[in-house]
Amino acid sequence: MPRKEGAVPESKDEREKLKNEVAKELDLDDDVEKRGWENLTARETGKIGGNMVKKMMRLAEKEMDEKKGRIRLNDEEKE
């Protein structure tokens, strides 16, 4: 079964960059290079995914602070 696309398919490249950045921060980049993404353990991919979410939340919070508590979702107009 094909993987589900994200909410914003155009952001796929940015998500890949973030995934690689987080893997490097967790010292898992060598494991990814040796074994590939598909052969990482559930624990390793969970660490990467969890840290990606933390980073995305920090970015969303920063955007909310800059926009007085509002964040642009999907196709809402920018203020």
Range with top average pLDDT, 1-5, 10-14, 45-49, 55-59? 45-49
Hey, where are the domains in the chain?
12-66
Per the CB < 8 A criterion, the answer to whether 16 and 48 are in contact is no
Residue 41 banded pLDDT, cuts 50, 70, 90: very high
Answer yes or no: pTM beyond 0.75. no
Number of other CB atoms surrounding residue 29 within 10 Å:
14
Query: Measured between alpha carbons, how far is 53 from 75 in angstroms, rounded to an integer?
Result: 21
